[in-house]
Amino acid sequence: MELNDLMGLCKVLDEKHGFPVKFDNQLEKYNQITKDLVGLLGEVGEFANIVKKINIKIERNESYELDTKQAENNLKEELADSLIYIIRIANILEIDLTTETLTKIEKNKIKYGTTEH
């Protein structure tokens, strides 16, 4: 599935589930973006917390109780949740994420093009 198709699917599902996708004014629009941004930051925080726990497990090994396989599976879900919020915000702002991401990649090629590792 292409990113634009995924964005369309998310928009349809948001409408179906009662999440606002159309707004009468800027205040309503940006209030929803604020709510979704808080949701996004929460998901990123959950992702970061799992990474922290995996690092502790790697450092302490036997003395820290953690199922790393399950933790890595949880990372997938938190990252997907984060992407859903990013897509929702992009849909509200009518941003074509594919185009904007490709544009940014090109800018980064110029910005970081001389750095090699």
* pLDDT digits 0-9 by tens, 19-78: 999 999 999 999 999 999 999 999 999 999 999 999 998 998 878 888 989 999 999 999
Joined together, the tokens standing for residue 51 give 């990474």
> Confidence band (pLDDT; 50, 70, 90) for 100?
very high
pTM recorded for the entire structure: 0.89
The pLDDT of residue 113:
81
Domain map of the chain by residue range? 3-112
Protein fold of 3-112: Helix Hairpins (1.10.287)
The pLDDT of residue 116:
66
